Amino acid sequence: MGYAKERGKLEKLLRIVGLNTYDEKSLAALVDTHEKYSHTVRILKNKEPEIFSALYTNELQEVKDSRKALKEADTDEARQTSFIAYKETLLRALENAIKATNETL
């Protein structure tokens, strides 16, 4: 079973790769990407739980944890560091989901 539609949605979300500085606009882009990733992974998990449930439980939780760390950061330096960690975690989760959809062809 192919997942081209979901893979296409996930690939569009990779646009966050260029975000490197914490500001409100960049944070809004990451949060939007996180929400769309979460929705797409939920769809994939519902379609094929054996393949995608690990992404849903593990990868999505890592992304949530890194977002929480960003919210709890109290200095500008800590926010910048947490922002980069959040972005990297989200990118890794996106790449793993894309890889999983490619492997199910």
Task: Round to whole Å and give the CA distance between 82 and 71.
Answer: 9
Q: Rounded to a whole number, what is the distance in angstroms from the first to the last CA of the chain?
A: 6
pLDDT tens track for 59-69: 999 999 999 99
pLDDT tens, residue by residue, 33-67 = 999 999 999 999 999 998 899 989 999 999 999 99
In this prediction the pTM is: 0.92
Dist. CA 42–CA 57, nearest whole Å:
10
